[in-house]
């Protein structure tokens, strides 16, 4: 079912652009499938059309990684809009990697370029759907009227008078400064907003263009098979785009970019996990471009796990920890993984959480007590219905929420995390340090992975 790890994986495809005319470029799909529907993108003039900077690809590269045959028309190539658009359509029809010849989409990253092609839409039946980026000042009633289904991404707040015409759908992005917020390398580029628009673009365009559709669940399971079963760094990375990233949110471990992530997988993850590692899937949601999992991560802490417990020696205890994974898939390869869990749950199950901790704030039940004089007791089996004596979660019918009996316990739990994290990061296991003790502790700092994938120190 999967590739033989005794043989090297297939290399990633190299971009092979074809210049149709100055300012007009064709790029076949960069997916493993290698063919897909056609898309025309309208962009400002740029020499960085094939660049990937700090993990952010140009729009030409990004759409090709999604599995589209893409023609980019820059402002230079749109001086004669009708002839340039017709050339782009003919290039897609002649492209052997473009498998849908009678319908194409258009994405305008510049409102001025969109205004040039709008009058041509009614005489260009091959264009069946559009995406437009704009500022709020660009979206008058005449501007937003189109003859094809259109999706508008508008920088700024929606006003009470904002209303989309029947053929259009509008989304607003309050954090965006201008309509160029989705243009990589532009000063107003806003990563989070652009990522959200891209998912919405796929939801809009794929039904209109007939895809491309991929089995996202199979792609994710292939990745985890190489990661946990075969334990092959090279084959794991072969399931990912050119510049992917992984972020283990509670510990900020992982890697940004192919080089850093490869180093992380090789030295800090794939070969570090215990041999009895098991992931019990609880639920899975599959979207247009991502898989979201809830699962129980089961393991024996018999080796130092840099990604989960940086700097903590093995305790040789077993643990079962609820995890979430948000996995973004671009085309038929992974782009990123956001992995989350509750670190206090890990510490408790491994016996690294103390029974008491100082509470440095006024205590509502005893106003005369001064800060730092009150010890707060952590929840025991009697305090929290879903926690057993060894700190593991007790199974309920639907894995319901933990029921904290006393609200003060919740505040203590939140305060405890910082205390324990400081303590275990210093590798001082003869006794756990509190705030008043930190001045006498050696200044060893906790470990995390930076963008270069190296172990780095951060002052606490």
pLDDT at residue 402, as a whole number: 38
Task: Classify 320 as helix, strand or coil.
Answer: strand
- Give the whole-angstrom CA distance, residue 259 versus residue 30: 19
Q: Among the listed ranges 42-46, 49-53, 238-242, 438-442, which one has the minimum average pLDDT value?
A: 438-442
Residues 234 and 190 in one domain: no
Please check whether residue 205 is in contact with residue 181, taking contact to mean a CB–CB distance below 8 angstroms. no
Residues 194 and 225 in one domain: no
Total number of domains in the chain:
2
Give me the phi and psi of 71, to 5 degrees please: -115, 120
Q: Does residue 372 lie in a domain region?
A: yes
Kindly state the tokens that stand for 308: 């989960």
Higher pLDDT, 411 or 164: 164
Residues 433-458 pLDDT 10s:
333 333 443 433 333 333 444 444 34
Residues 198 and 254 in one domain: no
Closest CA to 290 of 335, 245, 249: 335
Q: Does residue 185 lie in a domain region?
A: yes
Given 160, 188, 209, the domain boundary residue is 209
- Residue partners of 384: CB distance under 8 A and separation at least 6: 402, 403, 404, 405, 409
Residues 222 and 155 in one domain: no
Handedness of CA 354, 359, 364, 370 (dihedral sign): positive
Does 236 have pLDDT greater than 90? yes
pLDDT at residue 335, as a whole number: 98
pLDDT at residue 427, as a whole number: 35
pLDDT at residue 73, as a whole number: 98
Closest CA to 307 of 329, 351, 277: 277
Residues 259 and 359 in one domain: yes
CATH classification of the domain holding 426: 3.10.450.50
Helix (H) or strand (E) holding 359: strand 356-359
Q: Does residue 393 lie in a domain region?
A: yes
Residues 154 and 281 in one domain: no
Q: Does residue 349 lie in a domain region?
A: yes
Residues 102 and 235 in one domain: no
Higher pLDDT, 352 or 443: 352
Residue 137: pLDDT band by 50, 70, 90 thresholds? confident
> Cα separations (Å) of 83 from 76, 90, 116, 174, 353?
13, 10, 12, 37, 70
Mean pLDDT of 118-127: 93
Residues 175-189 pLDDT 10s:
999 999 999 999 999
Q: What is the DSSP letter of 156?
A: S
Does 343 have pLDDT greater than 80? yes
End-to-end Cα spacing for the chain: 47
- Give the whole-angstrom CA distance, residue 14 versus residue 33: 14
pLDDT at residue 147, as a whole number: 84
- Residue partners of 226: CB distance under 8 A and separation at least 6: 2, 5, 232, 235, 236, 238, 239
Given 182, 209, 236, the domain boundary residue is 209
Q: Using alpha carbons only, what angle is made at residue 149 by residues 147 and 150, rounded to the nearest 5 degrees?
A: 100
In the chain, pLDDT over 70 holds for what percent of residues? 75
Q: Is the backbone of residue 137 left (phi > 0), alpha (psi -120 to 50) or beta? A: alpha
Residues 200 and 338 in one domain: no
pLDDT at residue 312, as a whole number: 94
Residues 205 and 222 in one domain: no
Burial class (CB in 10 A: 0-12, 13-18, 19+), 249: middle
Q: Does residue 5 lie in a domain region?
A: no
Q: Does residue 11 lie in a domain region?
A: no
Q: Compute the half-sphere exposure of residue 83: CA atoms within 13 Å on the CB side of its CA.
A: 7
Residues 160 and 196 in one domain: yes
The segment with the largest mean pLDDT, out of 347-361, 403-417, 420-434, is 347-361
- Give the whole-angstrom CA distance, residue 356 versus residue 257: 42
Residues 175 and 256 in one domain: no
Does 424 have pLDDT greater than 70? no
Q: Does residue 307 lie in a domain region?
A: yes
- Give the whole-angstrom CA distance, residue 197 versus residue 203: 10
pTM for the whole thing? 0.80
Strand intervals (E) in 196-304: 240-248, 253-256, 278-286, 290-300
Given 179, 209, 239, the domain boundary residue is 209
Residues 443 and 303 in one domain: yes
Residues 159-215 pLDDT 10s:
766 666 777 899 999 999 999 999 999 999 999 999 999 999 999 999 999 999 999
Mean pLDDT of 299-313: 95
Does 379 have pLDDT greater than 60? no
Q: Does residue 35 lie in a domain region?
A: yes
CATH classification of the domain holding 170: 3.40.50.1820
Q: Helices marked H in 161-265 — which ranges? A: 191-209, 216-224, 233-238, 258-264
Strand intervals (E) in 249-332: 253-256, 278-286, 290-300, 318-330
**Other residues' Cβ atoms within 10 Å of the Cβ of residue 164:** 15
Helix (H) or strand (E) holding 172: strand 168-173
In the chain, pLDDT over 90 holds for what percent of residues? 69
Domain with 428 in it? 218-460
Cis peptide bond upstream of 440, omega within 30: no
pLDDT at residue 76, as a whole number: 95
């Amino acid at each position: 079912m999967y590739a033989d790890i005794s043989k090297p994986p297939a290399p990633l495809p190299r971009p092979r652009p074809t210049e149709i005319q100055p300012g007009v470029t064709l790029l076949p799909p960069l997916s493993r499938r290698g063919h897909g529907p056609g898309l025309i993108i309208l962009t400002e003039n740029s020499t960085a059309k094939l660049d990937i900077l700090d993990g952010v690809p140009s729009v030409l590269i990004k759409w090709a990684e999604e599995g589209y045959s893409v023609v980019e028309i820059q402002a230079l190539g749109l001086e004669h809009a009708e002839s340039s658009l017709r050339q782009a359509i003919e290039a897609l029809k002649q492209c052997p990697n473009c498998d849908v010849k009678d319908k194409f989409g258009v994405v305008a990253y510049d409102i001025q370029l969109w205004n040039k092609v709008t009058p041509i839409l009614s005489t260009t039946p091959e264009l069946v759907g559009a995406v437009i980026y704009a500022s709020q000042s660009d979206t008058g009633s005449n501007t937003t009227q189109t003859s094809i289904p259109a999706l508008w991404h508008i920088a700024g707040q929606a006003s009470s008078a904002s209303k989309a015409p029947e053929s259009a759908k509008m989304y607003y992005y309050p954090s965006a400064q201008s309509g160029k917020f989705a243009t990589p390398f532009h000063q107003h580029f806003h990563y989070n907003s652009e990522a959200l628009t891209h998912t919405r673009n796929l939801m809009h365009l794929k039904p209109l263009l007939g895809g491309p559709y991929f089995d996202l669940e199979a792609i994710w399971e292939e990745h985890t098979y190489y990661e946990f079963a075969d334990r092959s760094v090279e084959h794991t990375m072969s399931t990912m785009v050119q510049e992917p990233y992984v972020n283990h949110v509670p510990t900020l471990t992982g890697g940004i970019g192919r080089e850093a992530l490869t180093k992380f997988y090789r030295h800090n993850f794939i070969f570090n996990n215990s041999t009895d590692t098991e992931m019990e899937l609880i639920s899975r949601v599959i979207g247009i471009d991502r898989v979201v999992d809830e699962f129980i991560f089961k393991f024996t802490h018999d080796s130092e796990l840099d990604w989960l417990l940086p700097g903590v020696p093995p305790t040789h205890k077993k643990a079962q920890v609820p995890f979430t994974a948000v996995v973004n898939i671009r085309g038929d390869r992974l782009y990123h993984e956001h992995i989350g869990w509750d670190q206090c749950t890990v510490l408790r199950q491994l016996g690294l959480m103390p029974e008491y901790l100082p509470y440095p704030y006024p205590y509502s039940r005893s106003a005369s007590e001064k800060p730092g004089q009150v010890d707060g007791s952590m929840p025991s089996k009697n305090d929290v219905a879903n926690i057993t004596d060894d700190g593991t979660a007790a199974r309920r019918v639907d894995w319901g929420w933990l029921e904290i009996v006393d609200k003060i316990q919740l505040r203590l739990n939140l305060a405890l995390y910082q205390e324990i994290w400081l303590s275990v990061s210093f590798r001082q296991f003869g006794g756990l340090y509190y705030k008043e003790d930190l001045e006498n502790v050696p200044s060893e700092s906790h470990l995390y992975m930076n963008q270069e994938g190296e172990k780095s120190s951060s002052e606490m």
